[in-house]
Amino acid sequence: MTLQKPILRALAGETLPTPPAWMMRQAGRYLPEYRATRAEAGDFLSLCYTPDLAAEVTLQPLRRYSFDAAILFADILLLPQALGAELWFTPGEGPRLSTTTTPDELSALKPADAVHDRLSPIYETVRILARELPKDVALIGFAGAPWTVATYMIAGRGTPDQGPAHALKTEDRATFDGIIDLLTAGTIEYLSKQVEAGAEVIKLFDSWAGSLQGEDFARYSLRPMQEITSALKARFPGLPVIAFPRGAGNRYAGSHAAVGADCIAIDDGVTAAWAAEHVQPAGCVQGNLLNSHLVTGGDALVTETQRVVRALRGGPHIFNLGHGITPDADPENVTIMLEAIKNA
């Protein structure tokens, strides 16, 4: 690891004249070359589990754009599949999982340290990327946070309000806690292997954190991420971790300390100016351009990009979107965004 890479410098707490930048879902359907490689793979899971192709789509945006990081191409639901859940993708409808909602279904899953055989292709993808990435580009490994992954395991699919997971949490807390505990332990194992294979930064995506209310937010979003972060840092001293409790609102304040993360990623539900005052004093902030600007482009894209950069220029900042880039984004708008960052 070398702190000369801009992302690593920002994660170490350095305020840079121009923030390093990357995008969530930067390898994805907005790029024609991704769609071609996806067609070559045949289906989404085959793309994830074929290291040469997964590495190829991870590298594609680096050939077009001057990003400072690449993020491993994979999916947050590969972990529950490795634990024994059935996983498939229905065209036009997204992922489907066999449900885990009873003590018997939970006990039928594999232990946390049994995930590696299924996930070995993912580690090979990381090894390929560690060899092939440009020397100034950092490699980010990732996983879904336990709460978010649990919502899919319990419902068997994505839901608008995570209702089935909230219901199980209320009706059978022991089983729900068992799912969270298993996912926490499994995520530590999964991410440890990513780091051993060459990942330099880890990001935890808690995409549905915002639906947790009251004490449940701390108990089921922040605490599992803290346990994962603490375990990873004990195994790999100096490893930077980015946590993304999406939808946290004013609860982003204090999240650095609660998770032990080096950086808190923020969505577009808070302003960059608010984050500069309430979040950035505790450490690096990542975010938070509204992703629809990469669809609509124009002067607003430049103005809003520079507003984010200027608001957060007083401390460590990694420029990113408030959520992933969408399939209908114009690739040319990414170039415009990156130029606006440099000229802010």
Q: Whole-model pTM above 0.95?
A: yes
Q: In the prediction, which pLDDT does 28 show?
A: 96
The closest alpha carbon to 160, from 211, 96, 95, 220, belongs to 211
Structure tokens that stand for 23 in this block: 């995008």
Amino acid at 32: P
Annotated catalytic residue, options 152, 190, 220, 252: 152
Ramachandran sector of residue 233 (left: φ over 0; alpha: ψ -120 to 50; beta: rest):
alpha
Q: In the prediction, which pLDDT does 93 show?
A: 84
Question: Catalytic residue at 49?
Answer: no
Question: Catalytic residue at 181?
Answer: no
What is the Cα gyration radius of the chain? 19
Question: How many whole angstroms separate alpha carbon 191 and alpha carbon 197?
Answer: 10
% of the chain beyond a pLDDT of 90: 98
Task: Determine if the peptide bond prior to 320 is cis (ω within 30°).
Answer: no
Q: Could you tell me the domains of the chain? A: 6-343 (3.20.20.210)
Give the pLDDT confidence of 22-61 residue by residue, as tens digits.
Answer: 999 999 999 999 999 999 999 999 999 999 999 999 999 9
Residue pair 278/252 in contact by the 8 Å Cβ criterion:
yes
The answer, yes or no, to whether residue 14 has pLDDT greater than 90, is yes
The H or E element containing residue 288 is: strand 284-289
The closest alpha carbon to 317, from 79, 11, 24, 70, belongs to 11
Question: How many whole angstroms separate alpha carbon 209 and alpha carbon 244?
Answer: 9
Question: Catalytic residue at 310?
Answer: no
Banded pLDDT at 91 (limits 50, 70, 90): confident
Question: Catalytic residue at 75?
Answer: yes
Q: In the prediction, which pLDDT does 310 show?
A: 98
Give the pLDDT confidence of 143-202 residue by residue, as tens digits.
Answer: 999 999 999 999 999 999 999 999 999 999 999 999 999 999 999 999 999 999 999 999
Question: Catalytic residue at 235?
Answer: no
Annotated catalytic residue, options 9, 34, 75, 246: 75
